Amino acid sequence: MQSNNSYLLANKIVVVIGGAGLLGKVFCEAIVTDGATVVVADINLSRAEQVCQSIAERYLCDRIVPESVDFTSKTSLQSLIARISERFGSIDAVVNNAYPRNTHYGRKLEDIEYTDFCENVSMHLGGYFLSTQQFAIFFKRQGYGQVVNMSSIYGSSAPRFEIYDGTTMTMPAEYAAIKSGIQQLSLYFMRYYKGTRLRFNCISPGGIIDTQPEAFKSAYGRYSQSKGMLAPEDISGALTFLLSDRSQYINGQNLVIDDGWSK
């Protein structure tokens, strides 16, 4: 069997916030199989525990641990950082992957209430800001560390509303504000910490296949080069590369993974 030191992420400690979600659990699996210890941090501790158990049993490893966190709470984030750093002695990276939203999220433009818009932006973009802020403070004291923020193609591309025709779906206005804001915040943090060994990058996936109607998937696919909507596994390789030492001078970048959809 390969020694842990020969893996891409050998001996690293990586926190994935939103680690029990659709993308998060695949990210955690990829990080573990590339040799790191991964902390599955989620607001739903029970789901985080289930993800950890599943991955641990599949790969017969103990390098995956569940944690509870509310990334819209400074106290919760500080407590998480303290627990992890005390347990492992260091933290190499955090992946901000949570996707909080209220029950009115996803309405068409004319139907969005101002209070709902503000709440969704506050939870999602605000949570990414707060997590990046708190981990950056810790990383500066530690002397190194990096943040990978999950954005979207809709953070830098105009919506294609025609792909939603014939469905109840839309591209929420809040989503555009949130995902573009995540990209700019990452650049802000990168420049603010100039002269340190801190890194701040984004990954912007295209559409991830889930339970969308066939009409939407077909319309979406017409703009793609080959595959159409992507699977979570199509994103995880880029993430583990960014988390590795092979990308040590990639900083302030937004890596788009969309099968050419946004071009």
Active-site positions?
175
Checking 213-222 for CB contacts under 8 A at 24+ apart, the result is 213/167, 213/169, 215/165, 215/166, 215/167, 216/163, 216/164, 216/167, 216/169, 219/162, 219/163, 219/164, 219/165, 220/163, 220/261, 222/163
H-type alpha helices, the chain: 22-33, 45-59, 74-88, 114-142, 173-192, 214-221, 233-243
SS3 3: coil
Give the number of C-alpha atoms closer than 13 A to the C-alpha of residue 62, restricted to the C-beta side.
0
